[in-house]
Structure 1
Amino acid sequence: MLSVSGLRKTYGDVEAVRDISFEVADGEVFGLVGPNGAGKTSTLKTLAGLLEPTAGDVVVNGYDSTDPEMRHTLGFLPEESPLYEDMTPRSYLRFFADLYDVPREVADERIETTLDRLDLAVRDRPVGDFSKGMKRKVAIARSLVNDPDVLIYDEPASGLDPTTTTVVVEFTRELADEGKTVVFSAHDLHHVESVCDRVAIVSEGEIAAQGTLADIREEHGRVEYRVFTDVPLDGSEEVEPGRHRVTVESMAGVDDVRDRAREAGGNVVDIRTRESTLEDVFLAVTGGRP
């Protein structure tokens, strides 16, 4: 479990994070997203113990984030994760397992099992010869050599091809299903939407929205109805010959379009509902900042 309460982080006179609070339960994937400069990276690094909070409490599986012992229960995957490129995946991962005092037999079994699950077959060539996707898989395996209870993944699938991205995202979901606590951050909000149980949107150092995707959509999103008719109406758009579209935001609006279509001698031929995506909500609560 991970708990964040009243987190603040300042750099001199600059307040990067102000009063951020959330909890992540065992077996949950919690998405943390925000535009550039919103304070997301400072938050993630503070959770990982790489930065000391200016104020507030961060507890990772029962340990304060500043406690060196905390690192034994945490796996951290930063957005940029350089590897020792002269080493092979096996030697590289054994090196990190030794740092965590993982017995060799346990480490070897864990390494092979993890690389199998990540579909990385090449294990005895230097990492420097690998593609970006293969390197990312090695970095993910590194985050798991100590069998941590809490994982912080910052842009785990950034810049990867679609096939590798699918493997990484599905693997993240599997880790949560096994009971691990996962904080997941990505600029590709489709990935966040597909894997996260709950999400916090950070804007200007604060949480602007937090909850399940359904809760956030209900509070900050909207539903629109695209009503198609076989006659033109005021405000309609012809999408193809004999097919016209009117967009409304309520069922009352749908009924109005139906009545107007009948008055014009036509009918409603189709109605399609569109709910706000996470990207729609993100742009709404952050003022459209990228």
Structure 2
Amino acid sequence: MIRVRNLRKEYSGFVAVSDSSFSVEPGDVFGIIGPNGAGKTTTLKMLAGLLTPTNGTATVAGLPADDPEMRTRLGYLPEESPLYEEMTPNSYLRFFADLYDVPRDVADERIEDTLDALDLAYRDRRLGDMSKGMRRKVAIARSLVNDPDVLIYDEPASGLDPLTTNYVLEFTRDLSAQGKTVVFSAHNLFHVESICDHLVIMNKGEIVARGTVGEIRETHGRTAYHVFTSVPLRETTPDGDRHKVVVESMAEVDAIRDAAQAAGGDVVDLRTDEPSLEDIFLDLAKGATTA
């Protein structure tokens, strides 16, 4: 559905995105994360056909990203999405449906269904009088008026309260279940971890990790095993009526068990501490090995 090959964007010698390559399969929720200035928004804008790459190619829904026909199959949501404040949600969305030549009866049904799914009330209230969360829902609905195959969302839940954020995340997952492909950026890594099928981590314009959350955790994270024994060992420290040591492999766990049994005791508890996506992200953002 999306194919990116050696995508690069330079501004007067500054490299915003450096030779990025990745693929997104139909129906995937694909995350792009990284610190400020990592190249996330620039990448999304190139995918949406809003920026011309310096080098490389991007195809979306089988079409070049700069092909006007591609935009009829795309829904794009920028991080900041000003709305026409004098309009109501209904009139605003019908206006954009007209721009896409969506028949009025089809548009009306689609708008109503989308606003129902987003739990948006007050559809005839001025947009200028609505809360940020309600306005964001209208912006998301706008991205869907043309029934696109691919959705590109830049920080879809930015600045929203927890309840509205949950609606947006659940709605994003529902879109994937309908077969739509969603590419989005986010700063909240818990959100990314909870809904992404695959993701890339960017830093200084480069992709430094890629895969599922599990694959990234396995490749770039370090799992810690907290081993508790019934007898003291040279490696352990007291922990109440037990003794504790932290190791990084199951081979070391087995060695602790053997030592405990040789001393007349045993391993009485074992706890696994896996790194969070945030832990891995922070390590990579400090300049860890590039993928």
TM-score by length of 2: 0.91
Instruction: Kindly provide the CA deviation profile for residues 67-89 of structure 1, in whole angstroms up to 9, marking residues without a partner as x.
Output: 22221111011111111222111
Task: Note closer, same or farther for the CA distance 1:252–1:25 as it changes in structure 2 (3 Å cut).
Answer: closer
What is the aligned length? 288
Aligned to 1:242: 241
Structure 1 window deviating more from structure 2 (246-255 vs 15-24): it is 246-255
Task: Note closer, same or farther for the CA distance 1:266–1:158 as it changes in structure 2 (3 Å cut).
Answer: farther
TM-score by length of 1: 0.91
Distance 1:231 1:187 in 2: 45
Matches within 5 A, 1:194-213: 194-213=194-213
Matches within 5 A, 1:227-266: 227-229=227-229, 236=236, 241-242=240-241, 244-259=243-258
Distance 1:129 1:238 in 2: 61
Aligned to 1:193: 193
Instruction: Kindly provide the CA deviation profile for residues 82-120 of structure 1, in whole angstroms up to 9, marking residues without a partner as x.
Output: 112221111111111111111111111001100111111
User: Does structure 2 conserve the Cα–Cα contact (< 8 Å) formed by 1:7 and 1:56?
Assistant: yes
Structure 1 window deviating more from structure 2 (254-263 vs 162-171): it is 254-263
> Per-residue deviation at 1:145?
0.6
Is 1:90 the counterpart of 2:96 in the alignment? no
> Per-residue deviation at 1:162?
1.8
Matches within 5 A, 1:104-143: 104-143=104-143
Structure 1 window deviating more from structure 2 (244-253 vs 17-26): it is 244-253
> Per-residue deviation at 1:275?
1.9
User: Does structure 2 conserve the Cα–Cα contact (< 8 Å) formed by 1:118 and 1:167?
Assistant: yes
Could you tell me which amino acid in structure 2 is paired with residue 36 of structure 1?
N
> How well do the aligned residues superpose, as a CA RMSD in angstroms?
2.1
Structure 1 window deviating more from structure 2 (40-49 vs 120-129): it is 120-129
Aligned to 1:75: 75
> Per-residue deviation at 1:31?
1.0
User: Does structure 2 conserve the Cα–Cα contact (< 8 Å) formed by 1:184 and 1:196?
Assistant: no
Aligned to 1:285: 284
Structure 1 window deviating more from structure 2 (94-103 vs 280-289): it is 280-289
> Per-residue deviation at 1:142?
0.7
Aligned to 2:33: 33
Aligned to 1:181: 181
Task: Note closer, same or farther for the CA distance 1:38–1:119 as it changes in structure 2 (3 Å cut).
Answer: same
Is 1:172 the counterpart of 2:172 in the alignment? yes
Could you tell me which amino acid in structure 1 is paired with residue 122 of structure 2?
V
Uncovered stretches (5+) of structure 2, i.e. residues with no partner: none
Task: Note closer, same or farther for the CA distance 1:184–1:234 as it changes in structure 2 (3 Å cut).
Answer: farther
> Per-residue deviation at 1:266?
5.8
Is 1:276 the counterpart of 2:275 in the alignment? yes
SS at structure 2 position matched to 1:66: coil
Percent of aligned pairs sharing the same letter: 67
Instruction: Kindly provide the CA deviation profile for residues 5-52 of structure 1, in whole angstroms up to 9, marking residues without a partner as x.
Output: 111101111111111111111111111111111111111111111111
Distance 1:133 1:243 in 2: 51
Is 1:61 the counterpart of 2:70 in the alignment? no
Task: Note closer, same or farther for the CA distance 1:247–1:288 as it changes in structure 2 (3 Å cut).
Answer: farther
Instruction: Kindly provide the CA deviation profile for residues 193-235 of structure 1, in whole angstroms up to 9, marking residues without a partner as x.
Output: 1111111111121111111222222221222111234566666
Distance 1:104 1:140 in 2: 19
User: Does structure 2 conserve the Cα–Cα contact (< 8 Å) formed by 1:49 and 1:66?
Assistant: yes
Task: Note closer, same or farther for the CA distance 1:235–1:124 as it changes in structure 2 (3 Å cut).
Answer: farther
> Per-residue deviation at 1:285?
2.3
Aligned to 1:149: 149
Uncovered stretches (5+) of structure 1, i.e. residues with no partner: none
SS at structure 1 position matched to 2:90: helix
> Per-residue deviation at 1:155?
0.9
> Per-residue deviation at 1:57?
0.9
Could you tell me which amino acid in structure 2 is paired with residue 209 of structure 1?
A
Distance 2:231 2:95 in 1: 70
> Per-residue deviation at 1:2?
1.4
